[in-house]
Structure 1
Amino acid sequence: MGATPFHLVYGGEAVVPVEVGVKSDRIQHYSKDNAERRLLELDLVDEPRAKAVVRLMTYRQRMCQNYNWRVIPRSFQVGDFVWKKVKSVGDVTKLEATWVGPFKVVEKLWSSTYYLEDEDGRRL
């Protein structure tokens, strides 16, 4: 995003405990003028936040476009035969089948949801 989360919240970088004990330049040169500057930075923190929001929205749009570009839309009709993916439970080896079937599509509920029927006539 171009800024640390601490910077987006507080408008500046954090002073880590090591810097306090070692007396770094940031600690040694701190004065009343710095306190006024910090208040000014807090007033201006909205700009980095807005930039972070724009970057995040751009990233989300790119991810959405990438997914939509790669996904292959599939649609089945009543009477089609399909395979069903098995969800692994417990100890499953890599040589076990990940698909079972074929199953017959009995009813289409909505976009990609179907009622299936096995060869014994049981609905799934």
Structure 2
Amino acid sequence: MTTPKNATGQTPFSLVFGAEAIIPTEMVYPIAKTSIRDPQTNDENLVQDLDTVEELRDQERFRMVTYQQKIAGAYNKNIRIRRFRVEDLVLQKAFQNKTKPADGNLAPKWEGPYLIESKAGKGAYRLMNMEGDMLPRAWNAFHLKKYFC
């Protein structure tokens, strides 16, 4: 609870209560943080901290959004979006339930080629085999790759 978080730079306790937490051992064994404080000025400082806690929370919300955008950017920089056009030839990823168990590691990783018949949504395509039969469902572009003949 007293460790500052990366996203906000503040402790959860300070964001809720507007002041840093003092652990019991700091009360028993005086340290600079607890011995310098005067009870009278401490109360005044706590009231002032409570007045500014909303401002502190707003600053930390902004910092958290910036941190999240930075993390998302680092994640998304390696993402390669696959886009295909209608009538492109593609290979479809071969899943375990469609391969022969006897093939083991030598089973084909891709099957096809298939013809893209139409777009089915954002990043999804309807496929047709070379005989002209439609596949029963749409396929995500993640499970397809371009076929070069």
Using the size of structure 2 for normalisation, the TM-score is 0.56
Cα distance in 1 for residues equivalent to 2:45 and 2:13: 17
Classify 1:96/1:24 alpha carbon distance in 2 versus 1 (closer, same or farther; 3 Å).
farther
Which residue in 2 is equivalent to 1:14?
A: 21
Any residues of structure 2 matched to 1:40-59 within 5 Å, and which? 40-59=48-67
Cα distance in 2 for residues equivalent to 1:42 and 1:56: 21
Cα distance in 2 for residues equivalent to 1:96 and 1:55: 50
Cα distance in 1 for residues equivalent to 2:123 and 2:49: 51
Cα distance in 2 for residues equivalent to 1:7 and 1:101: 57
Q: Percent identity among equivalent residues?
A: 28
Cα distance in 1 for residues equivalent to 2:37 and 2:108: 65
Q: Secondary structure at the match of 1:115?
A: strand
Is the contact made by 1:78 and 1:107 (CA closer than 8 Å) also made in structure 2? yes
- What is the Cα deviation at residue 38 of structure 1? 0.8
Using the size of structure 1 for normalisation, the TM-score is 0.65
- What is the Cα deviation at residue 9 of structure 1? 1.3
- What is the Cα deviation at residue 24 of structure 1? 3.2
Cα distance in 1 for residues equivalent to 2:68 and 2:49: 29
Is the contact made by 2:13 and 2:21 (CA closer than 8 Å) also made in structure 1? yes
Gaps of 5+ in 1: 88-94
- What is the Cα deviation at residue 75 of structure 1? 1.3
Q: Secondary structure at the match of 2:136?
A: coil
